[in-house]
Structure 1
Amino acid sequence: MGYQLSKKEIYREVIKCGKDPVYFINNYARISHPQKGLIPFKTYDFQSELLKDFNNYRFNIILKARQLGISTVTAGYIVWLMLFHRDKNVLVIATKFGTASNLVKKVKHILKNVPEFLQITSITIDNRSSFELSNGSQIKASSTSGDAGRSEALSLLVIDEAAHVEGLKELWTGLYPTLSTGGRCIALSTPNGVGNWFHKTYTESEQGINDFYPTNLPWSVHPERDTEWFEKETRNMSRRQIAQELECNFNTSGDTVIHPDDIKRIFGNVKEPKHRTGFDRNFWIWEEYSSDCTYLVVADVARGDGKDFSVFHVIKLETMEVIAEYQGKPTPDIYGNMLCSVGKEYGNALLVVENNSVGFAVIEKLRELEYPNLYYSIKSTHQYVSQLEAEGISNSVPGFTTTQKTRPLIVAKLEEFIRNKLITLYSARIANEFKTFIWNNGRPEAMRSYNDDLIMSLAIGCWVRDTALETSKREVEYQKAFLDSMIMSNTRISTAIPGMRGYNKSYDIDTSSKNKQALEEHKEFLWVYKG
């Protein structure tokens, strides 16, 4: 028979447990182990520190590796909160309703297995995904639908695998007011690329911009894991899986179109522009015009709905450096004037404008301003023709057409240029766009609520540079070689023989010497004719 606590000792233990979640969990919480069954929950140092953070900070965000027991620690904290406090309302949301329900199940299991003398409250309503205690505290799991948690006043909101919850930014807009009465939030997740709510909130918390307290828990915080364990675990994992599951690396964990190593290299080249000019100060210039260089200006025109930007790049073709860049929201007529001015400033550079619906208005403005070097192509084939040739071709169109057929081709060309280090970028704006430019169901595009205007404009520039301009250059070289191969001879020949009228001896050909020379050349190169 075990030792029985006196009423005074029980009172002291209840008070002690109610004040300190770390003490309660380490002494009285029991959890299920897959091999050992029901065992005492003894927290590691990093888990104990996390429990203290839950208690000390209203908003906690945890970037974690897999299998560190963080969900179980969170479940233990919820048990402590509900058991020793009245009228606590806890909501758990996750990527799937089943995942949220599993966390509620963990909470219930820990609660049912605390010692009898600590069961100062009992379960009055018990469902699969929710339960309520006699002290008024309750917990429930919820799906990630738009009305999750609305019309409730929450004491604690737990968002499990927050980086993987679709549309969490919009969901948080509805959930945040439910915490306005002093409620707390615990958001925990492995990384899932950049640009999502979890990434944005975590990085801003590190900078002190929001109220969340950040905690980073990579695989190495576990005292029982070493390099040998890491090598064994990662033997059959891809680089992306390792970054996501173990290393807590945002950049490498995402499914970005451009490889994370290339994005890192791009950020390494970022530098402040020499000049920030234009009517809105958004025209960034790194290098001025040089008469020794050739330039290409590539423009993408905003749809006009306020969500995207009109952008252009100035590319120095000799070195493939983007030496100027613009991103803003001008009206089509102002944008047309701006493009005309920039094109002329850079030596009447070839000007490529994407001819979407609004793009045609900009192109018409450029034609009205008589810009001398607009990009034209043959409809459907996208073959480049000069502005002069285009006037005589009925199916030529001004500008570049981005379609379902050409979009993947130009993006692939951009990726090729970046992977092979054929292009140099200095802009922080486009570098940040690459971080949120991902594969979505096989389609390369920006994450929700982000833009890819600078990327698509640059992709068009890479395509034009490598196909249209190179093909045109080759055709010029072929024509030059053809003309160079043509010769003119002024040799005169006369068929008159001695005695005929008009005979002139100076026109006679010395056939004997010519034949002799031909025989010598024949002998010299006889080995060529022999098979």
Structure 2
Amino acid sequence: MVTKVNKLTKVLSEFPLFAKNFIFITDNENQVIKFEINEAQQEIENLMLENRFVVIGKARQAGISTFVLARALWRALTKPNENILIVSYKGDSAKALFEKLKQMNDAVPRDKFPHVFPNVRRDNRSELLFTNGSRISSVTAGNKDIGRGSTYTYVHLSEFAFYASQETQLLSVEQSLAKGAESQLTIETTSNGTSNHFYRLYMQALKNKSKYVPYFIPFYHKLYKKQFAHDYDEAERWYKATNGGKRLVSDDLEEDESVLHRAGATLRQLMWRRWKIQDMENEQQFMQEYPSNALESFISTGKSVFDQNKVLTRLSYSIEPLSKNEVLSEVPESVRKYIGKGLDLFELPERSKKYYFGVDTASGSGNDYSTITVFDSEGQQVMSFYHNKIAVYEFAQVIYDLGIFYNYAFLTVERNSYGLPVIERLRKERGYLNMYKMKTFDERGKKKLQIGFITSEKTKAIMISDMKEQFELGLVNIECKTTLQQMQMFVETNGRLGNKRGNSDLHHDDSVISTALAIQGMKINKWYV
């Protein structure tokens, strides 16, 4: 039989039960209610039970701050000597968060449960100290190191993407985190473009290349069904008033809406989406405020070059590459080690088909990537290669072997920088003949042909424009997810095209460039063998 003592012990040991019984919050109707965690909060709770490091990207008003504050209070009240730090972006947000925390603490029913909860020993504008030795502190990020000189059992970084010195501040916080199994660090933020450390951290987490486990809350998450219920009702009334009293049905959905519907967005949420977009400049503005996935949330300053609806739709339908077992015995021995580690084949070569390579070469030092994109003559992508630690001479061999494998493919190699030694090795050492030639004029006005594609601001604009046209008209079919993800970040800023915006470590457009080069090769319709 479950005794009252056993029941209380269980409630105190599990945060969702603790919150439901002892935490009170103010809801959207300004009513004080018991805190029952929503679906997204439960999903984050499940992650936190298994992982010490969690990074949360989110749309607006997801209730994550409330969840974090309540969980911090639970730790402080149920465990002695907890040292908890809540870090905010600005002073006013730090004050608001800490006031909410104090309200939660004041509402804990100590009178009803004497000797269960510790009392407050010290209460000031940035600290709550309890009689069990536990402490919750609040600071703003500013420009200083965070947490230096102290050891914390739990740290939460709120709106981290807006901190001034993200990388150094995160490093100092990690150093101050206790090394025990129950210590935790969580990051929660809306996105702030791609020119910051949070973007890199989150992208690495998505690729399972970080100790942080990623979680994202899309605008259509089921938690919003209750939270935005009044908005949804108003949007539905608006839709019916403008559509002859009819409700939105699946047959009425646009292509991008169908993608969202398949991902989990309800018809009510899609009516709400249309209702919101009508007062915005464009759909991209909606994506910034109410993203449907993490990549959308990073779209910010600058104008996206490629139609984002088409990119997202293609991402939803892109196929997985052939498995290693399907291709291992088929491909040249020299490239087998790259299968699944940068080399993805979507189709094996077919006899008598023509294939077109686009090649962008990097140094192999670990920053930019050496990339290959391959289309058949019908515009179907059949292969991609993506590696940042392959030496130039090795890359030339990979290009040669794969070019021969794909029926002596037509190669369009960017001539700039490291591309020139690749061209020299392919042409002079290996005698590869089927290569793009670019017409140029010398200072005397004499025409000459040079092997390779020379990229300048002018020619880059032309090849990106051609790629945009071919992609958006459905004349090429891109399967590579890395390329499509780079297309989501590819913007025009102050007349310049690209993803990097001054930091090649954070942003890459190499696969976009190799794709555009392959399309240039298809465009000139030459064949030299």
What TM bracket, shorter-length normalisation?
A: 0.5 to 0.7
Deviations 1:347-404 (A, max 9, x none): 66543221222222222233423443443334589xxxxxxxx9x9467544222233
Residue in 2 aligned with 1:417? 470
- Percent identity between matched residues is 19
C-alpha displacement of 1:423: 0.8
Deviations 1:268-302 (A, max 9, x none): 242434544351323655243644x5443322111
Residue aligned with 1:305, SS: coil
Q: Which moved more, 1:24-33 or 1:140-149?
A: 24-33
Q: Does 1:321 align with 2:380?
A: yes
Q: Counterparts of 2:227 and 2:489 in 1: how far apart (Å)?
A: 35
Residue in 1 aligned with 2:317? 268
Q: Which moved more, 1:455-464 or 1:170-179?
A: 170-179
The counterpart of 2:424, out of the listed 348, 364, 370, is 364
* Contact kept in structure 1, 2:23 and 2:35, CA below 8 Å: no
* Contact kept in structure 1, 2:409 and 2:434, CA below 8 Å: yes
Residue in 1 aligned with 2:332? 277
The aligned amino acid for 2:433 is P
Q: Which moved more, 1:72-81 or 1:255-264?
A: 255-264
Number of residue pairs matched by the alignment = 445
Q: Counterparts of 2:418 and 2:424 in 1: how far apart (Å)?
A: 10
RMSD: 4.8
* Contact kept in structure 1, 2:205 and 2:212, CA below 8 Å: no
Q: Does 1:306 align with 2:366?
A: yes
Change (3 A) 1:288 1:157: same
C-alpha displacement of 1:422: 0.9
Residue aligned with 1:140, SS: strand
The aligned amino acid for 2:146 is A
Residue in 2 aligned with 1:505? none
Residue in 1 aligned with 2:238? none
Change (3 A) 1:248 1:428: closer
Change (3 A) 1:321 1:77: closer
The aligned amino acid for 2:474 is K
Q: Counterparts of 1:73 and 1:427 in 2: how far apart (Å)?
A: 37
Q: How does 1:127-526 map to 2 (within 5 A)?
A: 127=125, 129-130=126-127, 132-133=129-130, 135-143=133-141, 147-161=145-159, 172=170, 174-177=172-175, 178-181=177-180, 182-189=182-189, 196-198=200-202, 201=205, 218-221=220-223, 222-223=225-226, 225-226=228-229, 227-228=232-233, 230=269, 231-232=271-272, 235-237=275-277, 239-240=283-284, 248-255=292-299, 258=306, 259-266=308-315, 268-273=317-322, 274=327, 275-281=330-336, 282=338, 286-288=347-349, 290-291=351-352, 293-316=353-376, 318-328=377-387, 329-340=389-400, 343=403, 349-369=409-429, 370-379=431-440, 393=446, 397-427=450-480, 430-431=483-484, 433-434=486-487, 443-445=497-499, 448-449=505-506, 451-466=508-523, 469=524
The aligned amino acid for 2:183 is G
C-alpha displacement of 1:156: 1.4
Residue in 2 aligned with 1:509? none
Change (3 A) 1:155 1:346: closer
Q: Counterparts of 1:364 and 1:51 in 2: how far apart (Å)?
A: 54
The aligned amino acid for 2:378 is T
C-alpha displacement of 1:77: 3.0
C-alpha displacement of 1:163: 6.5
C-alpha displacement of 1:93: 3.3
Change (3 A) 1:136 1:70: closer
Q: Counterparts of 1:345 and 1:233 in 2: how far apart (Å)?
A: 48
TM-score, with normalisation over the residues of structure 1? 0.65
Deviations 1:398-454 (A, max 9, x none): 422223343344333322221111112344554555466567787421685464322
* Contact kept in structure 2, 1:29 and 1:76, CA below 8 Å: yes
Residue in 2 aligned with 1:92? 86
Residue aligned with 2:38, SS: helix
Q: Which moved more, 1:112-121 or 1:452-461?
A: 112-121
**Bigger-Rg structure (1/2):** 1
Change (3 A) 1:400 1:138: same
* Contact kept in structure 1, 2:155 and 2:185, CA below 8 Å: yes
* Contact kept in structure 1, 2:205 and 2:214, CA below 8 Å: no
Bigger relative contact order, structure 1 or 2 (CA pairs below 8 A, ≥6 apart): 2
Change (3 A) 1:319 1:211: closer
* Contact kept in structure 1, 2:19 and 2:34, CA below 8 Å: yes
Q: Counterparts of 2:272 and 2:398 in 1: how far apart (Å)?
A: 58
* Contact kept in structure 2, 1:58 and 1:183, CA below 8 Å: no
Residue in 2 aligned with 1:124? 122
Residue in 2 aligned with 1:520? none
Q: Which moved more, 1:421-430 or 1:163-172?
A: 163-172
* Contact kept in structure 1, 2:276 and 2:286, CA below 8 Å: no
Q: Which moved more, 1:143-152 or 1:186-195?
A: 186-195
Residue in 1 aligned with 2:250? none
Residue in 1 aligned with 2:34? 42
TM-score, with normalisation over the residues of structure 2? 0.65
The aligned amino acid for 1:452 is D
Residue aligned with 1:458, SS: helix
